A and B are shown apart, each in its own frame.
Chain A
Amino acid sequence: MSSQAQQASMAQDGATVRRPYVRPISKTSWFMTHSRYKHYMLHEISSLFVAIYAVILIVGLFRLGSGPAAWQGWLDAVTSPIGILFSLAAFVFSIIHATAWFKAVPQAMRLMRGGEVVPGNLIIGVHYVVWAVVSLFVLILAGVA
Protein backbone atom coordinates (compact mmCIF):
# COMPACT_ATOMS: atom_id res chain seq x y z
CA MET A 1 0.00 0.00 0.00
CA SER A 2 1.41 3.43 -0.87
CA SER A 3 2.03 5.83 1.98
CA GLN A 4 -0.77 8.12 0.71
CA ALA A 5 -3.19 5.21 0.61
CA GLN A 6 -1.98 4.20 4.06
CA GLN A 7 -2.65 7.69 5.38
CA ALA A 8 -6.09 7.76 3.78
CA SER A 9 -6.86 4.41 5.35
CA MET A 10 -5.62 5.64 8.74
CA ALA A 11 -7.79 8.75 8.40
CA GLN A 12 -10.81 6.58 7.74
CA ASP A 13 -9.99 4.58 10.85
CA GLY A 14 -10.02 7.80 12.83
CA ALA A 15 -6.25 7.73 13.24
CA THR A 16 -4.08 10.80 12.70
CA VAL A 17 -3.07 12.08 9.30
CA ARG A 18 0.54 13.19 9.10
CA ARG A 19 1.00 16.84 8.22
CA PRO A 20 4.51 17.84 9.35
CA TYR A 21 4.90 21.56 9.93
CA VAL A 22 8.06 23.23 8.61
CA ARG A 23 9.05 26.39 10.45
CA PRO A 24 10.42 29.13 8.20
CA ILE A 25 14.03 30.29 8.62
CA SER A 26 15.09 33.78 7.58
CA LYS A 27 17.99 33.59 5.14
CA THR A 28 19.01 37.15 5.99
CA SER A 29 18.58 37.43 9.75
CA TRP A 30 19.05 33.89 11.13
CA PHE A 31 22.21 34.98 12.95
CA MET A 32 20.24 37.42 15.10
CA THR A 33 18.48 34.56 16.87
CA HIS A 34 21.34 33.63 19.24
CA SER A 35 24.49 35.25 20.62
CA ARG A 36 26.65 32.36 19.38
CA TYR A 37 25.61 33.10 15.81
CA LYS A 38 26.34 36.82 16.30
CA HIS A 39 29.85 35.93 17.54
CA TYR A 40 30.32 33.75 14.49
CA MET A 41 29.28 36.59 12.17
CA LEU A 42 31.58 38.98 14.04
CA HIS A 43 34.66 36.84 13.52
CA GLU A 44 33.66 36.16 9.91
CA ILE A 45 33.26 39.90 9.24
CA SER A 46 36.57 40.56 10.99
CA SER A 47 38.29 38.76 8.10
CA LEU A 48 37.21 41.59 5.78
CA PHE A 49 39.17 44.12 7.82
CA VAL A 50 42.18 41.81 7.91
CA ALA A 51 41.99 41.38 4.13
CA ILE A 52 41.60 45.12 3.44
CA TYR A 53 44.52 45.90 5.73
CA ALA A 54 46.66 43.33 3.88
CA VAL A 55 45.73 44.94 0.54
CA ILE A 56 46.70 48.39 1.91
CA LEU A 57 50.09 47.00 2.96
CA ILE A 58 50.67 45.44 -0.46
CA VAL A 59 49.73 48.72 -2.15
CA GLY A 60 52.28 50.37 0.18
CA LEU A 61 54.97 48.01 -1.10
CA PHE A 62 54.19 48.94 -4.70
CA ARG A 63 54.23 52.64 -3.76
CA LEU A 64 57.63 52.14 -2.16
CA GLY A 65 58.87 50.70 -5.45
CA SER A 66 57.42 53.63 -7.40
CA GLY A 67 59.65 56.25 -5.83
CA PRO A 68 59.81 58.64 -2.85
CA ALA A 69 56.82 60.80 -3.87
CA ALA A 70 54.49 57.80 -4.25
CA TRP A 71 55.72 56.36 -0.93
CA GLN A 72 55.15 59.69 0.84
CA GLY A 73 51.64 59.84 -0.63
CA TRP A 74 50.89 56.37 0.77
CA LEU A 75 52.37 57.35 4.15
CA ASP A 76 50.24 60.52 4.23
CA ALA A 77 47.13 58.47 3.44
CA VAL A 78 47.66 55.86 6.18
CA THR A 79 48.55 58.51 8.78
CA SER A 80 45.55 60.71 7.95
CA PRO A 81 42.74 60.69 10.56
CA ILE A 82 40.68 58.27 8.43
CA GLY A 83 43.76 56.08 7.89
CA ILE A 84 44.47 55.94 11.62
CA LEU A 85 40.82 55.23 12.42
CA PHE A 86 40.80 52.36 9.93
CA SER A 87 44.07 51.01 11.31
CA LEU A 88 42.60 51.03 14.82
CA ALA A 89 39.45 49.24 13.61
CA ALA A 90 41.60 46.74 11.68
CA PHE A 91 43.70 46.17 14.81
CA VAL A 92 40.62 45.41 16.94
CA PHE A 93 39.13 43.13 14.28
CA SER A 94 42.49 41.39 13.78
CA ILE A 95 42.54 40.54 17.48
CA ILE A 96 38.95 39.24 17.28
CA HIS A 97 39.91 37.20 14.20
CA ALA A 98 43.12 35.79 15.64
CA THR A 99 41.65 34.86 19.02
CA ALA A 100 38.64 33.18 17.38
CA TRP A 101 40.90 30.99 15.28
CA PHE A 102 43.37 30.28 18.08
CA LYS A 103 40.40 29.02 20.07
CA ALA A 104 39.39 26.76 17.18
CA VAL A 105 42.82 25.24 16.53
CA PRO A 106 42.55 22.31 18.98
CA GLN A 107 39.30 21.27 17.29
CA ALA A 108 40.83 21.21 13.82
CA MET A 109 44.21 19.88 14.97
CA ARG A 110 43.75 17.06 17.42
CA LEU A 111 47.16 15.83 18.59
CA MET A 112 48.02 12.57 20.33
CA ARG A 113 51.26 12.35 22.33
CA GLY A 114 52.27 9.34 24.40
CA GLY A 115 48.88 7.73 23.99
CA GLU A 116 47.03 10.80 25.30
CA VAL A 117 45.20 13.64 23.60
CA VAL A 118 47.24 16.85 23.93
CA PRO A 119 45.13 19.31 26.00
CA GLY A 120 43.49 22.02 23.89
CA ASN A 121 44.59 24.81 26.22
CA LEU A 122 48.24 23.83 25.68
CA ILE A 123 47.83 24.10 21.91
CA ILE A 124 46.06 27.47 22.26
CA GLY A 125 48.70 28.67 24.74
CA VAL A 126 51.53 27.87 22.33
CA HIS A 127 49.79 29.97 19.68
CA TYR A 128 49.61 32.96 22.03
CA VAL A 129 53.28 32.57 22.97
CA VAL A 130 54.32 32.43 19.30
CA TRP A 131 52.09 35.44 18.60
CA ALA A 132 53.76 37.43 21.41
CA VAL A 133 57.28 36.45 20.31
CA VAL A 134 56.64 37.31 16.64
CA SER A 135 55.00 40.62 17.63
CA LEU A 136 57.98 41.51 19.83
CA PHE A 137 60.37 40.62 17.01
CA VAL A 138 58.45 42.84 14.57
CA LEU A 139 58.37 45.71 17.09
CA ILE A 140 62.14 45.40 17.62
CA LEU A 141 62.65 45.28 13.85
CA ALA A 142 60.52 48.44 13.52
CA GLY A 143 62.59 50.13 16.23
CA VAL A 144 59.57 50.61 18.51
CA ALA A 145 60.58 48.22 21.29
Chain B
Amino acid sequence: MSIRTIKLEVLRYRPEQDKEPFFQTYTVPCEEEWVVLDALNHVKDEIDRTLSYRWSCHMFVCGSCGMVINGEEKLGCKAFLRDYSGTIRIEPLRNFPIERDLVIVQDDFIEKLTSVKPYLIPKEEKSIEQGTYKQTPTELKTYKQYSMCMNCLLCYSACPQYGLESEFIGPAALALAHRYNTDSRDVGRSAREDMAAAHEGVWACSFVGACSQVCPKDVDPAGAIQQLKFSSAVDYLTSYLPGGKR
Protein backbone atom coordinates (compact mmCIF):
# COMPACT_ATOMS: atom_id res chain seq x y z
CA MET B 1 0.00 0.00 0.00
CA SER B 2 1.53 3.29 -1.05
CA ILE B 3 1.12 5.98 1.54
CA ARG B 4 3.07 8.86 0.06
CA THR B 5 5.03 9.94 -2.95
CA ILE B 6 8.57 11.21 -2.52
CA LYS B 7 11.00 12.96 -4.83
CA LEU B 8 14.52 11.59 -5.06
CA GLU B 9 17.31 13.74 -6.48
CA VAL B 10 20.02 11.29 -7.43
CA LEU B 11 23.49 12.23 -8.66
CA ARG B 12 23.98 10.51 -12.00
CA TYR B 13 27.20 9.93 -13.86
CA ARG B 14 27.38 7.69 -16.91
CA PRO B 15 31.01 7.76 -18.03
CA GLU B 16 30.20 6.81 -21.62
CA GLN B 17 27.96 9.84 -22.16
CA ASP B 18 28.24 12.39 -19.32
CA LYS B 19 31.07 14.89 -19.09
CA GLU B 20 30.28 15.46 -15.43
CA PRO B 21 27.71 14.33 -12.87
CA PHE B 22 24.23 15.86 -12.76
CA PHE B 23 21.15 15.44 -10.59
CA GLN B 24 18.21 13.45 -11.90
CA THR B 25 14.85 13.59 -10.15
CA TYR B 26 12.64 10.55 -9.68
CA THR B 27 9.14 10.49 -8.23
CA VAL B 28 8.68 7.36 -6.16
CA PRO B 29 5.56 6.00 -4.44
CA CYS B 30 6.81 4.71 -1.11
CA GLU B 31 5.52 2.75 1.83
CA GLU B 32 5.79 3.62 5.52
CA GLU B 33 8.52 1.12 6.37
CA TRP B 34 10.71 1.80 3.35
CA VAL B 35 14.31 2.87 3.58
CA VAL B 36 16.17 4.92 0.96
CA LEU B 37 17.54 1.70 -0.52
CA ASP B 38 13.95 0.47 -1.13
CA ALA B 39 13.21 3.67 -3.01
CA LEU B 40 16.33 3.22 -5.15
CA ASN B 41 15.35 -0.39 -5.82
CA HIS B 42 11.93 0.84 -6.92
CA VAL B 43 13.57 3.28 -9.34
CA LYS B 44 15.80 0.51 -10.68
CA ASP B 45 12.95 -2.00 -11.06
CA GLU B 46 10.15 0.28 -12.27
CA ILE B 47 11.46 3.62 -13.54
CA ASP B 48 15.05 3.63 -14.75
CA ARG B 49 17.06 0.47 -15.22
CA THR B 50 20.24 2.41 -15.95
CA LEU B 51 20.64 3.65 -12.36
CA SER B 52 23.67 2.07 -10.67
CA TYR B 53 24.37 1.70 -6.95
CA ARG B 54 25.85 -0.92 -4.64
CA TRP B 55 23.85 -2.96 -2.18
CA SER B 56 23.69 -6.49 -0.92
CA CYS B 57 22.16 -7.51 2.41
CA HIS B 58 19.53 -4.79 3.03
CA MET B 59 19.96 -5.46 6.75
CA PHE B 60 22.82 -3.32 8.04
CA VAL B 61 25.43 -6.05 7.87
CA CYS B 62 27.35 -5.89 4.59
CA GLY B 63 28.20 -2.16 4.46
CA SER B 64 27.72 -1.96 0.69
CA CYS B 65 25.07 0.74 0.42
CA GLY B 66 26.97 3.72 1.83
CA MET B 67 25.86 7.01 0.29
CA VAL B 68 25.40 10.67 1.13
CA ILE B 69 21.75 11.42 1.87
CA ASN B 70 20.82 15.08 2.27
CA GLY B 71 24.47 15.85 2.95
CA GLU B 72 24.93 13.14 5.61
CA GLU B 73 26.85 9.91 5.23
CA LYS B 74 24.37 7.06 5.71
CA LEU B 75 23.74 3.45 4.81
CA GLY B 76 20.83 3.35 2.38
CA CYS B 77 19.36 0.37 4.25
CA LYS B 78 19.32 2.24 7.57
CA ALA B 79 17.90 5.56 6.38
CA PHE B 80 14.13 5.39 6.84
CA LEU B 81 12.13 7.52 4.43
CA ARG B 82 9.73 8.49 7.24
CA ASP B 83 12.59 10.46 8.80
CA TYR B 84 12.83 12.72 5.76
CA SER B 85 10.57 15.40 4.37
CA GLY B 86 10.70 17.15 1.02
CA THR B 87 13.04 16.12 -1.76
CA ILE B 88 15.73 13.64 -0.73
CA ARG B 89 19.11 14.29 -2.31
CA ILE B 90 21.29 11.22 -2.81
CA GLU B 91 24.96 11.41 -3.75
CA PRO B 92 27.80 8.90 -3.86
CA LEU B 93 30.26 8.84 -0.94
CA ARG B 94 32.58 11.85 -0.98
CA ASN B 95 36.37 11.77 -1.40
CA PHE B 96 36.28 8.83 -3.84
CA PRO B 97 36.19 8.98 -7.64
CA ILE B 98 32.75 8.19 -9.06
CA GLU B 99 32.75 5.04 -11.17
CA ARG B 100 29.11 5.37 -12.21
CA ASP B 101 26.10 7.05 -10.56
CA LEU B 102 26.30 6.13 -6.85
CA VAL B 103 29.11 3.62 -7.32
CA ILE B 104 32.52 4.81 -6.18
CA VAL B 105 36.02 3.51 -6.95
CA GLN B 106 37.22 1.75 -3.78
CA ASP B 107 40.68 0.67 -4.98
CA ASP B 108 42.58 3.21 -2.88
CA PHE B 109 40.89 2.02 0.31
CA ILE B 110 41.47 -1.66 -0.48
CA GLU B 111 45.20 -0.99 -0.99
CA LYS B 112 45.43 0.94 2.26
CA LEU B 113 43.49 -1.68 4.17
CA THR B 114 45.88 -4.36 2.91
CA SER B 115 48.88 -2.25 3.90
CA VAL B 116 48.01 -2.34 7.63
CA LYS B 117 47.91 -6.16 7.70
CA PRO B 118 44.35 -6.45 9.01
CA TYR B 119 44.58 -10.04 10.13
CA LEU B 120 45.80 -11.98 13.13
CA ILE B 121 49.58 -12.37 13.30
CA PRO B 122 50.03 -14.95 16.07
CA LYS B 123 53.27 -15.62 17.94
CA GLU B 124 53.22 -19.20 16.75
CA GLU B 125 51.14 -20.60 13.92
CA LYS B 126 48.85 -23.39 15.09
CA SER B 127 47.64 -26.27 13.02
CA ILE B 128 43.93 -27.05 12.99
CA GLU B 129 44.63 -30.08 15.19
CA GLN B 130 46.27 -27.84 17.81
CA GLY B 131 43.01 -25.93 18.22
CA THR B 132 42.01 -22.27 18.35
CA TYR B 133 43.77 -19.25 19.77
CA LYS B 134 41.97 -18.63 23.04
CA GLN B 135 41.34 -15.44 24.94
CA THR B 136 39.24 -14.32 27.91
CA PRO B 137 36.02 -12.27 27.60
CA THR B 138 37.90 -9.27 29.01
CA GLU B 139 40.59 -9.60 26.35
CA LEU B 140 37.82 -9.70 23.76
CA LYS B 141 36.21 -6.55 25.14
CA THR B 142 39.49 -4.67 24.71
CA TYR B 143 39.17 -4.65 20.93
CA LYS B 144 35.63 -5.85 20.14
CA GLN B 145 34.32 -2.35 19.38
CA TYR B 146 36.98 -1.90 16.68
CA SER B 147 36.23 -5.28 15.16
CA MET B 148 32.67 -4.20 14.27
CA CYS B 149 33.89 -2.28 11.19
CA MET B 150 32.24 -3.48 8.00
CA ASN B 151 34.27 -1.33 5.60
CA CYS B 152 31.24 0.75 4.56
CA LEU B 153 33.56 3.75 3.95
CA LEU B 154 31.22 6.33 5.47
CA CYS B 155 34.19 7.41 7.60
CA TYR B 156 36.39 8.05 4.57
CA SER B 157 33.60 10.09 3.01
CA ALA B 158 33.24 12.25 6.13
CA CYS B 159 36.98 12.66 6.72
CA PRO B 160 38.17 16.03 5.33
CA GLN B 161 41.76 14.98 5.93
CA TYR B 162 41.41 12.05 3.51
CA GLY B 163 39.74 14.35 1.00
CA LEU B 164 42.54 16.90 1.19
CA GLU B 165 45.48 14.51 1.55
CA SER B 166 44.76 11.31 -0.31
CA GLU B 167 47.94 9.63 1.01
CA PHE B 168 46.31 9.44 4.46
CA ILE B 169 45.63 5.79 5.28
CA GLY B 170 42.33 6.84 6.76
CA PRO B 171 39.97 5.98 9.60
CA ALA B 172 38.72 2.43 8.94
CA ALA B 173 42.10 0.94 8.01
CA LEU B 174 43.79 2.51 11.04
CA ALA B 175 40.95 1.41 13.34
CA LEU B 176 41.45 -2.12 12.06
CA ALA B 177 45.20 -1.87 12.66
CA HIS B 178 44.36 -0.86 16.22
CA ARG B 179 41.87 -3.71 16.48
CA TYR B 180 44.59 -6.29 15.76
CA ASN B 181 47.27 -4.46 17.76
CA THR B 182 45.07 -4.69 20.85
CA ASP B 183 44.11 -8.32 20.33
CA SER B 184 45.82 -10.49 22.96
CA ARG B 185 46.44 -13.22 20.38
CA ASP B 186 48.31 -10.89 18.03
CA VAL B 187 52.00 -9.95 17.96
CA GLY B 188 51.97 -7.96 14.70
CA ARG B 189 52.13 -4.46 16.15
CA SER B 190 55.71 -3.81 15.00
CA ALA B 191 54.84 -5.13 11.52
CA ARG B 192 51.99 -2.60 11.32
CA GLU B 193 53.98 0.24 12.86
CA ASP B 194 55.69 1.26 9.60
CA MET B 195 52.35 2.20 8.08
CA ALA B 196 50.43 3.24 11.19
CA ALA B 197 53.14 5.47 12.68
CA ALA B 198 54.13 7.07 9.36
CA HIS B 199 53.09 10.60 8.44
CA GLU B 200 50.38 9.17 6.17
CA GLY B 201 49.28 7.06 9.11
CA VAL B 202 47.97 8.35 12.42
CA TRP B 203 49.91 11.61 12.29
CA ALA B 204 47.98 12.82 9.26
CA CYS B 205 44.82 12.76 11.38
CA SER B 206 43.91 16.15 12.84
CA PHE B 207 41.10 14.67 14.97
CA VAL B 208 38.14 16.30 13.27
CA GLY B 209 36.21 13.32 14.64
CA ALA B 210 33.73 13.19 11.74
CA CYS B 211 34.56 9.52 11.13
CA SER B 212 33.27 8.52 14.54
CA GLN B 213 30.18 10.69 14.18
CA VAL B 214 29.06 8.98 10.98
CA CYS B 215 30.15 5.41 11.84
CA PRO B 216 26.98 3.26 11.77
CA LYS B 217 28.61 0.62 13.99
CA ASP B 218 30.01 2.94 16.69
CA VAL B 219 33.52 1.73 15.97
CA ASP B 220 34.97 5.16 16.88
CA PRO B 221 37.87 5.19 14.43
CA ALA B 222 38.91 8.66 15.68
CA GLY B 223 39.41 7.20 19.16
CA ALA B 224 41.40 4.28 17.76
CA ILE B 225 43.67 6.70 15.89
CA GLN B 226 44.30 8.85 18.98
CA GLN B 227 45.22 5.71 20.95
CA LEU B 228 47.55 4.65 18.13
CA LYS B 229 49.15 8.12 18.27
CA PHE B 230 49.80 7.62 21.98
CA SER B 231 51.37 4.18 21.59
CA SER B 232 53.37 5.35 18.58
CA ALA B 233 54.69 8.36 20.54
CA VAL B 234 55.62 6.10 23.49
CA ASP B 235 57.43 3.75 21.09
CA TYR B 236 59.35 6.67 19.59
CA LEU B 237 60.42 8.09 22.95
CA THR B 238 61.36 4.73 24.48
CA SER B 239 63.44 3.92 21.41
CA TYR B 240 65.91 6.59 22.64
CA LEU B 241 66.25 5.01 26.08
CA PRO B 242 69.18 2.70 26.85
CA GLY B 243 68.46 -0.60 25.19
CA GLY B 244 66.06 1.11 22.77
CA LYS B 245 66.09 0.65 19.01
CA ARG B 246 68.01 3.88 18.32
Query: A residues touching B (Cβ–Cβ < 8 Å)?
Result: 16-23, 25, 27, 30-31, 33-34, 36-37, 40, 104, 106-110, 112, 115-117
**Inside 8 A of A108's CB, which chain B residues have their CB?**
223, 226-227, 229-230
Query: B20 touching A21 by the CB < 8 A rule?
Result: yes
**Inside 8 A of B213's CB, which chain A residues have their CB?**
36
Alpha-carbon distance A71/B212, docked complex (angstroms)? 48
Smallest CB separation, A121 vs chain B (Å): 15
**Inside 8 A of B122's CB, which chain A residues have their CB?**
none
List the B residue with the shortest CB-CB distance to A41. B208
Query: B137 touching A115 by the CB < 8 A rule?
Result: yes
**Inside 8 A of A17's CB, which chain B residues have their CB?**
15-16
**B25-33, B94-102, B236-244 - the one binding chain A:** B94-102
Contacts of B222-238 to chain A: CB distance below 8 A: 222-223, 226-227, 229-230
**Inside 8 A of B95's CB, which chain A residues have their CB?**
25
Q: Is B13 an interface residue (CB 8 A)?
A: yes
Query: A117 touching B99 by the CB < 8 A rule?
Result: no
Query: B15 touching A116 by the CB < 8 A rule?
Result: no
Query: B223 touching A20 by the CB < 8 A rule?
Result: no
Alpha-carbon distance A18/B223, docked complex (angstroms)? 37
**In the A-B complex, the 4 residue pairs with the closest CB atoms:** A107-B223, A20-B97, A108-B226, A19-B15
Contact A40-B209, Cβ < 8 Å, known A17-B16, A18-B99, A21-B13 = yes
A22, A40, A110: the one within 8 Å of B97 (CB): A22
Query: B164 touching A27 by the CB < 8 A rule?
Result: yes
List the A residue with the shortest CB-CB distance to B20. A21
List the B residue with the shortest CB-CB distance to A34. B71
Mask, B146-180, CB within 8 Å of A = 1, is: 00000000000010100110000000000000000
List the B residue with the shortest CB-CB distance to A16. B16
Alpha-carbon distance A16/B210, docked complex (angstroms)? 35
List, sorted by A's number, 12 A–B pairs whose CB atoms are closer than 8 Å: A16-B100, A18-B15, A20-B97, A20-B105, A23-B98, A36-B210, A36-B213, A107-B209, A107-B220, A108-B223, A110-B227, A116-B141
Alpha-carbon distance A141/B142, docked complex (angstroms)? 43
Query: A21 touching B15 by the CB < 8 A rule?
Result: yes
**Inside 8 A of A33's CB, which chain B residues have their CB?**
71
**Inside 8 A of B97's CB, which chain A residues have their CB?**
20-22
Alpha-carbon distance A77/B222, docked complex (angstroms)? 42
**Inside 8 A of B138's CB, which chain A residues have their CB?**
112, 115
**Inside 8 A of A25's CB, which chain B residues have their CB?**
95, 163-164
**Inside 8 A of A37's CB, which chain B residues have their CB?**
160, 208, 210
Query: B98 touching A21 by the CB < 8 A rule?
Result: yes
Task: Supply 17 further A-B pairs (C-beta < 8 A) apart from A16-B16, A30-B160.
Answer: A18-B99, A19-B15, A20-B97, A21-B15, A21-B98, A31-B160, A34-B71, A36-B208, A37-B208, A40-B209, A104-B207, A107-B212, A108-B223, A108-B229, A115-B137, A115-B141, A117-B145
